[in-house]
A and B are shown apart, each in its own frame.
Chain A
Amino acid sequence: MKTHFEYQKNSLFRKHKLNPLNHDFSCIHCHLPVSASVLISRVKNRNHCPYCLWSRHLDLFEPGDRLSACKAGMRPIGLTFKRERNRYAASLGELMIVHQCSDCGKFSLNRIAADDDSTMILTVLERSPVLTSELLVYLKHEGIELVFSDRVTEVQKQLVGDFLG
């Protein structure tokens, strides 16, 4: 039987109307603690680690629905520009990270968060060419066109702005 103190502790979720399924977590890959606070990441649904960029397969139909039961790690395999152009962005769409589930193989696109490691994002860009041609064809069929090292300037511009010239 629970004590009253335990009931009070659990009522924290209710008091602050927090979604208990969307909370701080430890990265599934590098095990570093990650904050899901929107004040830090500036994204509503924090799925990926800002240090190693690995994500988790949590969403099923739409971002943030938390309906997937797979829950396996998702490897960052490359970068892409979102098809729909951001109203406030430059000519290109928003830069997104492409993840692939290490268990079921599903792909997902994730927004880059404010606290993501830019160096790691560029590393993912450099590693993209090692992907197999079958995977690249499959991604293209899914409507995801990966960005390669030849467009590194555009990626850098999205990450740090164009003040460097």
Chain B
Amino acid sequence: MKQTNTSPHNQGVLIKINPPIYTVWEDGEIINCTLSSSFHSDLAVGDKIIYFRHSESREFIGRLERRNFLVRRAARSKPSRYDQPQFLAANLDLLVPVLAAREPAPKWNWLDRCLVSAEASDIPVLICINKKDQVDQSNKNTHRDINEVLDEYRKVGYPVIEISALTGQGMENLRAMLTGKIAALSGQSGTGKSSILNFLQPALNIRIGSVSKHTGKGRHTTTSSELFLMHGGGMLMDTPGLREFGLWGFEGEDLAQYYPEMRPYLGTCRFGLSCRHDEEPGCAIRQAVTRGEISPYRYRSFLYLTKEN
């Protein structure tokens, strides 16, 4: 028998996915929904969805078009499995890739992947370096000086903020930058994403872990993404640690347009837009790297991603 709807359909924002329960936020109300059997879609936290209020339960039946989304290649459960996309977040005003200043050691290639994904979806980015206190305590750092690397990103045009969720250094600046926006914290495990949220809103009391003494890596304490409402306005998303950030849906030859510093040179190579910027003679991007206008590290990361995709 066909069930009749007792109320019109409503719209809300998906704030947590914990199948079979999908938590939706609508005008200050938090509602637990179930997924309609007729609805098959890759859902992400931040999606705007349409749901029906039944007398006993609520189930949602549709997703509104996304303004933007962050996607990566999903980790495969078996080597024989096909690669699949994994939608990490949707409808963001700001993406905040969080890296630790020292432990776990920052992976700049990871950051470049994240930035390329954000550029492809037109998501503004704020690079956040957490655990700044660790650098002050010890000069022992990774093989590249972190300040030099950050200057390279600043030169490209990405805003960078250095904070410490432990001491509170730079946290008020971060709060000001996040106020009124829907933002997502993303990063490897152990970089302090949940600690940042706890500092900004202590009442949340999110479970946090420490970095393993043996491996120097995080312990994957957060296991699912969740969007939290902030007191000052806006929403902030906590995400599980991402060990890898495989690009999804990119063609190798198109990647240069997602590197802002390479965009002015596109089409000016001898082979025009057909140039792969690798070994072609008369490549304007290679010449710019040689002149010091593009960081050789960013160029190497570009080549790495080009050959991988």
A30 part of interface (Cβ distance < 8 Å) = no
Interface stretch, picked from B160-168, B180-188, B222-230, B289-297, is B289-297
Instruction: Collect the chain B residues with CB atoms within 8 Å of residue A104's CB.
Output: 290
A27 to B: closest C-beta gap in Å:
13
A19 to B303, CA, bound (A): 11
**B83–A7 touching, CB < 8 Å:** yes
Residue-by-residue, is A57-87 near B (CB-CB < 8 Å gives 1, otherwise 0)? 0001000001111110000000000000000
**B83–A69 touching, CB < 8 Å:** no
Given that A4-B83, A21-B300, A69-B299 are known contacts, is A10 also in contact with B308, CB under 8 Å in the complex? yes
**B300–A67 touching, CB < 8 Å:** yes
Contacting B303 at CB < 8 Å: which of A4, A10, A15, A21?
A: A21
- Nearest chain A residue, comparing its CB with the CB of B73: A7
Contacting A21 at CB < 8 Å: which of B246, B251, B286, B304?
A: B304
A11 part of interface (Cβ distance < 8 Å) = yes
A15 to B80, CA, bound (A): 11
Given that A14-B246, A60-B296, A69-B286 are known contacts, is A8 also in contact with B83, CB under 8 Å in the complex? yes
Which residues of A (23-61) have their CB < 8 Å from a CB of B? 60
B73 to A: closest C-beta gap in Å:
8
A67 to B: closest C-beta gap in Å:
4
Instruction: Collect the chain A residues with CB atoms within 8 Å of residue B287's CB.
Output: 69
Contacting B296 at CB < 8 Å: which of A2, A8, A67?
A: A67
A151 to B285, CA, bound (A): 44
**B309–A20 touching, CB < 8 Å:** no
A10 to B300, CA, bound (A): 18
B28 part of interface (Cβ distance < 8 Å) = no
Which residues of B (253-309) have their CB < 8 Å from a CB of A? 278-279, 285-287, 289-290, 296-297, 299-300, 303-304, 307-309
A15 to B300, CA, bound (A): 20
**B307–A11 touching, CB < 8 Å:** no
- Nearest chain B residue, comparing its CB with the CB of A1: B249
A138 part of interface (Cβ distance < 8 Å) = no
Instruction: Collect the chain A residues with CB atoms within 8 Å of residue B296's CB.
Output: 60, 67-69
Which residues of B (61-111) have their CB < 8 Å from a CB of A? 79, 82-83
- Nearest chain A residue, comparing its CB with the CB of B289: A69
Instruction: Collect the chain B residues with CB atoms within 8 Å of residue A66's CB.
Output: 300
Instruction: Collect the chain A residues with CB atoms within 8 Å of residue B279's CB.
Output: 71
- Nearest chain A residue, comparing its CB with the CB of B306: A20
**B83–A67 touching, CB < 8 Å:** no
Given that A21-B303, A60-B296 are known contacts, is A13 also in contact with B308, CB under 8 Å in the complex? yes
- Nearest chain B residue, comparing its CB with the CB of A67: B296
A7 to B303, CA, bound (A): 17
Instruction: Collect the chain B residues with CB atoms within 8 Å of residue A19's CB.
Output: 304
Instruction: Collect the chain A residues with CB atoms within 8 Å of residue B299's CB.
Output: 67, 69
A105 to B299, CA, bound (A): 21
Q: Jot down 10 A-B pairs with beta carbons below 8 A, ordered by A.
A: A2-B251, A8-B82, A14-B246, A20-B304, A20-B308, A67-B300, A69-B285, A69-B296, A70-B290, A71-B278
Top 3 A-B residue pairs of the complex, sorted by shortest distance between their CB atoms: A69-B289, A20-B307, A67-B296
With A4-B82, A20-B307 known, 8 other A-B pairs at CB within 8 A are: A8-B82, A19-B304, A20-B308, A21-B300, A21-B307, A67-B296, A69-B289, A71-B279
Which A residues are within 8 Å of any B CB, using their own CB? 2, 4, 7-8, 10-11, 13-15, 19-21, 60, 66-71, 104
